């Protein structure tokens, strides 16, 4: 395949970038009254206004032409068709099969995976219902009141953030607590607040080899035994989600308490699998299913909609535009909805673990930028801190604003203020405020002209800062499912353009290996000459601080 940067469509975009760099969106809005109407799209209850972007129709056409030229159509078919597109691990990538309600088979290596997917879904349903109804009892005959969900990365972020985002839909049958970090403070605090007779531990680890998750589960099991439970009782209080059934049973989890997953589900794409069990336990199975249905709707939209009205494609190509032609190093996500405050952290793993790559699928070192840094937090809080840099700093930071038009138990005044801040920020970023406007504002402020000019200069807002605005009605399970799938497909499209494998994560492996060696060092089981001088010094400091007194 032609390299990305020598692709004629890429070169055309370079020329277009040079030609629009000095243009201001404020002028485009003034010149074209239909801009906002033209540059919007809608699918699955999600409305996208992308008119506040530094693009003309010609640029958009150029971006879609690049997507076609890079083989987006066939790449998409390969993913949905179960081809082993995760080439370094020789695996299919089929999170879409986990939410496939089409009734159609999905084949991997000549075998339909849907019967197993549906059987696991049914197991999640019956288990959730037995916990909620009180039929599933602990070893002393008490029903479950608290669930402690242990996992990390994709085996944590999805379940935690979805249950947080859907707080208004939670069932009051059980409280779900999440623990990820190996920092013992967290598990200790959580276990201190629950009664072992009424607690169910859900251990989620696709590999069943992740240090943090294994250690937290051992700590939970030791706590359970110390509180009075026996090894035999563990079966009533511990379940696991894993694709490594052998390791889970070796650990002591009863086989019937293991919810399966498969190697064709990537960690950061796994919330739709049994990794979502804590979501079902928190919200009830029907709401979990709603999430899956919403994602399935977005899958269909992504597969079927023409590129120019395809939400994931539009957002992906705008991202490529800024990353590769405007040198934008990061993208900020700004959910104006308190319950959706975790989404930036979720998309951070999804995007940065997927597209934070330096080698193409063909094994060439890339000669173009790949995945951006993803960050952000809930609005309006950021307006009183980091928005300063987005407005007046020297980096270009494209922003995704998002807002539900209605919220449950709405307080109209609060909600109107929230919305006005959200829209107001997009406006301020786009139009800015000129020096002349700032200078005029200072009329009558009693300043001499030199001071007036000086202050006006500091107050000048360049504007021309791009943003997307995503609106939806209430954030119900279905809409959230669609929203998350929208970001998944956006990341996929960008991976296709940059020609990286979006589904492996070799970059996190070295740290795991060295972390274990350092642990040996701390525990006095490793030779000092294994470590560089700095690391050795750190180890020694730790050992000294923890030496028996």
Going by their DSSP bridges, the two strands 399-404 and 146-150 should be labelled as unpaired
The Cα angle at residue 385 between residues 379 and 388, in degrees rounded to 5: 100
Q: Which is nearer to ligand F6P, 128 or 349 (CB)?
A: 349
Q: Write the binding mask 345 to 364 for ligand F6P: x where contact by CB under 6 A, - elsewhere.
A: --------x-----------
Q: Of the ranges 64-72, 148-156, 358-366, 481-489, which one interacts with ligand F6P (CB under 6 A)?
A: 148-156
Q: Which is nearer to ligand F6P, 16 or 150 (CB)?
A: 150
Both structure tokens of 4: 């990305």
Both structure tokens of 6: 């020598």
Closest C-alpha among 279, 186, 195 to residue 241? 279
Closest C-alpha among 24, 491, 454 to residue 302? 491
Q: Write the binding mask 257 to 296 for ligand F6P: x where contact by CB under 6 A, - elsewhere.
A: ----------xx----------------------------
Q: Of the ranges 62-70, 201-209, 326-334, 381-389, which one interacts with ligand F6P (CB under 6 A)?
A: 201-209
Question: From the CB of 280, what's the least distance to ligand F6P, in Å?
Answer: 18
Q: Of the ranges 203-211, 356-364, 402-410, 417-425, which one interacts with ligand F6P (CB under 6 A)?
A: 203-211
Give the Å distances, CA to CA, from 112 to 83, 96, 106.
13, 14, 5
Question: From the CB of 491, what's the least distance to ligand F6P, in Å?
Answer: 14
Question: From the CB of 268, what's the least distance to ligand F6P, in Å?
Answer: 5
123 catalytic, yes or no? no
Q: Which of 142, 414, 454, 512 is catalytic?
A: 512
Q: Which is nearer to ligand F6P, 342 or 432 (CB)?
A: 342
- Rounded to whole angstroms, the Cα distance separating 492 from 505 reads 14
508 binds ligand F6P (CB under 6 A): yes
Q: Which of 210, 216, 280, 426 binds ligand F6P (CB under 6 A)?
A: 210
- Rounded to whole angstroms, the Cα distance separating 317 from 55 reads 11
Closest C-alpha among 208, 93, 235, 223 to residue 151? 208
Q: Which of 207, 249, 330, 380 binds ligand F6P (CB under 6 A)?
A: 207
Q: Of the ranges 152-160, 185-193, 221-229, 409-417, which one interacts with ligand F6P (CB under 6 A)?
A: 152-160
161 binds ligand F6P (CB under 6 A): no
Number of residues that bind ligand F6P (CB under 6 A): 14
Question: From the CB of 468, what's the least distance to ligand F6P, in Å?
Answer: 27
Question: From the CB of 269, what's the least distance to ligand F6P, in Å?
Answer: 9
Question: From the CB of 133, what's the least distance to ligand F6P, in Å?
Answer: 29
SS (HEC) of 162-201:
HHHHCHHHCCCCCEEEEECCCCHHHHHHHHHCCCHHHEEE
Question: From the CB of 480, what's the least distance to ligand F6P, in Å?
Answer: 20
Q: Which of 205, 257, 310, 431 binds ligand F6P (CB under 6 A)?
A: 205
- Rounded to whole angstroms, the Cα distance separating 160 from 148 reads 11
Q: Are 393 and 380 in contact (CB under 8 A)?
A: no
Q: Which is nearer to ligand F6P, 176 or 418 (CB)?
A: 176
454 catalytic, yes or no? no
160 catalytic, yes or no? no
Q: Are 502 and 495 in contact (CB under 8 A)?
A: yes
Write out the H or E segment, with its range, that includes residue 520. helix 509-522
Restricting to residues 473-502, which ones interact with ligand F6P according to CB under 6 A?
A: none
Q: Which is nearer to ligand F6P, 268 or 465 (CB)?
A: 268
- Rounded to whole angstroms, the Cα distance separating 478 from 482 reads 6
Question: From the CB of 241, what's the least distance to ligand F6P, in Å?
Answer: 8
Q: Which of 384, 458, 525, 549 is catalytic?
A: 384
Q: Collapsing DSSP states into helix, strand and coil, what is residue 25?
A: helix
Q: Which of 152, 311, 315, 403 binds ligand F6P (CB under 6 A)?
A: 152
The rounded Cα 390 to chain-centroid distance in angstroms is 21
371 binds ligand F6P (CB under 6 A): no
Q: Which of 51, 128, 355, 505 binds ligand F6P (CB under 6 A)?
A: 505
Q: Which is nearer to ligand F6P, 86 or 287 (CB)?
A: 86
Give the Å distances, CA to CA, from 235 to 16, 139, 143, 543.
63, 9, 14, 38
State the residue for tokens 């070799």.
Answer: 506
Question: From the CB of 180, what's the least distance to ligand F6P, in Å?
Answer: 9
Residues facing 211 on adjacent strands: none
**Residue 380, phi then psi, degrees to nearest 5:** -95, 0
206 binds ligand F6P (CB under 6 A): yes
Question: From the CB of 226, what's the least distance to ligand F6P, in Å?
Answer: 25
| 6 CB-contact burial (10 Å; exposed 0-12 / middle 13-18 / buried 19+) | exposed
- Rounded to whole angstroms, the Cα distance separating 149 from 460 reads 49
Q: Are 48 and 315 in contact (CB under 8 A)?
A: yes
State the residue for tokens 């692709």.
Answer: 7
Q: Which of 100, 120, 163, 213 binds ligand F6P (CB under 6 A)?
A: 213
Q: Of the ranges 51-59, 207-215, 221-229, 326-334, which one interacts with ligand F6P (CB under 6 A)?
A: 207-215
Q: Of the ranges 151-159, 167-175, 307-315, 429-437, which one interacts with ligand F6P (CB under 6 A)?
A: 151-159
Give me the sign of the Cα torsion angle 522, 527, 529, 531: negative
Q: Which of 197, 353, 378, 488 is catalytic?
A: 353
Q: In sequence order, which residues have a C-beta less than 8 Å from that of residue 447 and are 6 or more positions away?
A: 455
- Rounded to whole angstroms, the Cα distance separating 214 from 155 reads 13
153 binds ligand F6P (CB under 6 A): yes
- Rounded to whole angstroms, the Cα distance separating 467 from 474 reads 22
Q: Which is nearer to ligand F6P, 64 or 262 (CB)?
A: 262
Write out the H or E segment, with its range, that includes residue 74. helix 72-80
Interface residues toward ligand F6P, by CB under 6 A:
152-155, 205-207, 210, 213, 267-268, 353, 505, 508
Hey, which residues are catalytic here?
353, 384, 512
């Amino acid at each position: 395949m032609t390299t990305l940067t020598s692709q004629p469509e890429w070169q055309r975009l370079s020329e277009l970038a040079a030609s629009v760099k000095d243009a201001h969106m404020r002028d485009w809005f003034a010149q074209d009254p239909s801009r906002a109407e033209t540059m919007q799209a809608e699918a699955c209850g999600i409305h996208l206004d992308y008119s506040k972007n530094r693009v003309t129709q010609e640029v958009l056409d150029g971006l879609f032409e690049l997507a076609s030229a890079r083989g987006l159509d066939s790449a998409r078919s390969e993913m949905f068709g179960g081809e082993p597109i995760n080439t370094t691990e020789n695996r299919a990538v089929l999170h879409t099969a986990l939410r496939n309600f089409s009734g159609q088979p999905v084949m991997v290596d000549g075998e339909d995976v849907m019967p197993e997917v549906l059987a696991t879904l049914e197991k999640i349903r019956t288990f959730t219902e037995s916990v909620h109804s009180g039929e599933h009892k602990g070893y002393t005959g008490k029903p479950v009141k608290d669930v402690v969900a242990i996992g990390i990365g994709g085996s944590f972020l999805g379940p935690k953030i979805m249950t947080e985002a859907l707080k208004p839909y939670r069932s009051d049958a059980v409280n779900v607590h999440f623990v990820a970090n190996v920092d013992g403070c967290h598990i200790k605090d959580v276990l201190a607040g629950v009664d072992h007779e009424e607690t169910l531990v859900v251990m989620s680890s696709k590999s069943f080899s992740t240090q943090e998750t294994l250690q937290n589960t051992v700590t939970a099991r030791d706590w359970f035994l110390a509180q009075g439970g026996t090894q035999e009782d563990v079966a009533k209080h511990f379940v696991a989600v894993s694709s490594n059934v052998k390791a889970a049973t070796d650990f002591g989890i009863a086989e019937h308490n293991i919810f399966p997953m498969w190697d064709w589900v990537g960690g950061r794409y796994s919330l739709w699998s049994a990794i979502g069990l804590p979501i079902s336990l928190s919200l009830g199975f029907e709401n979990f299913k709603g999430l899956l249905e919403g994602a399935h709707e977005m899958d269909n939209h992504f597969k079927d909609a023409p590129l120019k009205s395809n939400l994931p494609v539009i957002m992906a190509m705008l991202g490529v535009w800024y990353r590769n032609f405007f040198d934008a190093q990061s993208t900020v996500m700004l959910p104006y909805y308190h319950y959706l405050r975790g989404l930036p952290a979720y998309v951070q793993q999804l995007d940065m673990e997927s597209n934070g790559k330096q080698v193409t699928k063909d094994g060439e070192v890339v000669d173009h930028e790949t995945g951006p840094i993803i960050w952000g937090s809930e609005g309006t809080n950021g307006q009183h801190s980091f928005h300063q840099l987005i407005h007046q700093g020297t980096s270009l930071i494209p922003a995704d604003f998002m807002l539900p038009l209605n919220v449950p138990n709405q307080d109209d005044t609060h909600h109107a203020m929230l919305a006005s801040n959200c829209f107001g920020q997009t406006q301020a970023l786009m139009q800015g405020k000129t020096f002349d406007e700032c200078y005029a504002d200072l009329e009558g402020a009693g300043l001499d002209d030199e001071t007036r000019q000086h202050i006006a200069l500091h107050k000048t807002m360049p504007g021309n800062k791009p943003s997307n605005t995503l609106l939806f009605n209430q954030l119900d399970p279905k809409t959230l499912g669609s929203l998350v799938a929208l970001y998944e497909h956006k990341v996929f499209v960008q991976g296709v353009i940059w020609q990286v494998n979006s589904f492996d994560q070799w970059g996190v492996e070295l740290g795991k290996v060295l972390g274990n060696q350092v642990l040996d060092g701390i525990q006095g089981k490793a030779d000092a000459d294994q470590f560089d001088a700095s690391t050795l010094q750190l180890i020694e400091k730790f050992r000294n601080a923890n030496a028996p007194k």
